[in-house]
Amino acid sequence: MKRNILLTVVGLLALSLFVTACGGTQVVEKVVTVEVEKVVTVEVPVEKVVTVEVAAETAEQPAAEVAPTEEMAAAEPTEAPTATTAETAAPAAQAGGNTMAIVKERGKLNCGVNANVPGFGYLDPDTNEFAGFDIDYCKAIAAAVLGDPDAVEYRALTGTDRFPVLQAGEIDVLIRNTTWTISRDTSLGFNFAPTTFYDGQGMMVRKDSGITKLTDMQGATVCVQQGTTTEKNLADVMRALNVDYEPVVLADAPSTLAAYDEGRCDGFTTDKSGLVSNQILLAKPDDHVILDETMSKEPLGPLVRHGDDQWFDIVKWVTFGTFDAEELGITSANVEEMAATSEDPVVRNLLGVEGDLGQGLGLDNDFMVKVIKAVGNYGEIYDRHLGPDTVFNLERGPNRQWTDGGLIYSPPFR
Ligand SMILES: N[C@@H](CCC(=O)N[C@@H](CS)C(=O)NCC(=O)O)C(=O)O
């Protein structure tokens, strides 16, 4: 019983931290359940006052539409504690160092993703399949660990629910346009694998609005999504520019986009990747423009819970492996031939023809052959979802290889 009370207090503290971190509503009423026996209702005051609007469409079409209920139910909880433990490092440590064993036993990777950002993470309504740049990294990890890129249970998550769900062990990895920040990496209890997409926050406006730069937005309303870095960056940047604006904070991507499209906001702000992606979902995409200014640094990539170094290493080196494969010219089309014929020791190490680098991760030595066969190298993944043959036609920019002046760089496979 004493333990329950202690856990309850920890739960409440964690909840207040979480709500503060997310810049939530003025007063949050929440039920915190700890070890089934104890239910506590608490009101948590939050410092920041923001407008939270959840569009009617959202209420009618909740996340369940994009994240089918069966998928949620199918996501087997691990031995980790439940989501009520919110945002402290302690539960992450309890999740233990056996994620790979759990994934192998389950026969599926539980991957937390986005369902609403075409090109990155998207549930295609026609096929009911997840697809995108981030989704391919779920497949890459499943290929490395389980030998099957399709052995993935996808869990669609919003900006707000992604962190508690990862902390609770309901997913093994989160790969969903999530920015690497110090607070997420430390007090929230996560480890970030290498950045797969270097991004920055942008602002979309109507072409006929006369707005060409942020300082033209005096008195403007701006649609922004709750529980994101976006919310805080917007406030900081506008304050620094002395622009008095009104944020309209919404719960998820569809409601944010709908509010902007319906003309309830003059601007829509999120990561530039998210803006480019969401632009194609607007009623008249060509009527909108993304301002040139970049408001922040948003390094996006996969993340895992603290407390499992082996699992962190796997996610990290699978990601680096896709970078290295591009640098070495290894593709999904030539990987088998390269493994069979290359005499380059660097290639032979990466593909596990020589050495036992896979074994060091607890994987087969040819784990990168499986990954590259399944999804290709970094450049192939990028081009498939964002490149010139897609509607996005996104320039690589900082996401070029380091040998080409970009930031994509793998340490040696030695
Ligand atoms: N990179 C930022 C923003 C990520 C984010 O959640 N962006 C929104 C706007 S594109 C999104 O993906 N929403 C999808 C959803 O909630 O369904 C972060 O990590 O906080």
For the chain, the domains span 1-48, 201-296, 307-404
Q: Is 274 in the pocket of ligand 1 (CB under 6 A)?
A: yes
Residue among 274, 267, 264 nearest 57 (CA):
264
Sign of torsion, CA 268 270 273 278?
A: negative
Q: CA end-to-end span of the chain, whole Å?
A: 52
Per-residue pLDDT reduced to its tens digit, 380-413: 999 999 999 999 999 999 999 999 999 999 999 9
Q: Is 161 in the pocket of ligand 1 (CB under 6 A)?
A: no
List the structure tokens of 55: 């569009």
**CATH class name, domain 201-296:** alpha beta
At 401 the pLDDT is: 98
In a mutational test of the pocket of ligand 1, which residue from 22, 230, 290 has the highest number of ligand atoms less than 8 Å from its CB?
Answer: 230
Is pLDDT above 80 for 91?
A: no
At 334 the pLDDT is: 98
Q: Is 228 in the pocket of ligand 1 (CB under 6 A)?
A: yes
Axis-axis angle for helices 133-146, 367-375 (nearest 10): 150
**Any idea which of 8-17, 208-217, 256-265, 334-343 has the lowest mean pLDDT?**
8-17
Q: How confident is the model at residue 89 (pLDDT cuts 50, 70, 90)?
A: very low
Q: Is 399 in the pocket of ligand 1 (CB under 6 A)?
A: no
* Radius of gyration of the chain, Cα coordinates, nearest whole angstrom: 22
Q: Whose C-alpha lies nearest to ligand 1, atom 3?
A: 228
% of the chain exceeding 70 in pLDDT: 77
**Which atom of ligand 1 sits closest to the CA of residue 66?**
17
Residue among 311, 13, 314, 312 nearest 187 (CA):
13
Assess contact for 34 and 11: CB atoms under 8 A.
Answer: yes
At 96 the pLDDT is: 56
Sign of torsion, CA 130 136 137 139?
A: positive
Q: How confident is the model at residue 376 (pLDDT cuts 50, 70, 90)?
A: very high
Residue 228 CA to residue 207 CA, distance in Å, equals: 26
Q: Whose C-alpha lies nearest to ligand 1, atom 8?
A: 253
Residue 170 CA to residue 162 CA, distance in Å, equals: 10
At 3 the pLDDT is: 38
Is pLDDT above 70 for 131?
A: yes
